[in-house]
Structure 1
Amino acid sequence: MPVRELIDAAETLARAQREVGNDLARRVETCRATVSIVRLLEACGEAQLGQVAAVLRVDLSVASRQVSQAVHDGHVERTVGTADRRVRTLRLTPSGHELAARLRTELAERAGITLGDWDTDELRATADTLRRLADAITTRTPGHPARTTDES
Structure 2
Amino acid sequence: MTDEDFAARLRAVERAVTDSDAAVADLSEAAVVHDRLDEIEADLADLAERLDALDATVQSLHGYVGEIDHVNERVERRADAARAAVERLEDERRRTPRDDTERAHDTTGQPARRTPDTDRERPESDELPADLEAAVADSERPADGDDDASLFDRVRESL
TM-based fold match above 0.5: no
Q: Which protein is richer in strand relative to its size?
A: 1
Q: Normalising by structure 2, report the TM-score.
A: 0.28
Q: Which protein is richer in helix relative to its size?
A: 2
Q: Normalising by structure 1, report the TM-score.
A: 0.29
- Larger Rg: 1 or 2? 2
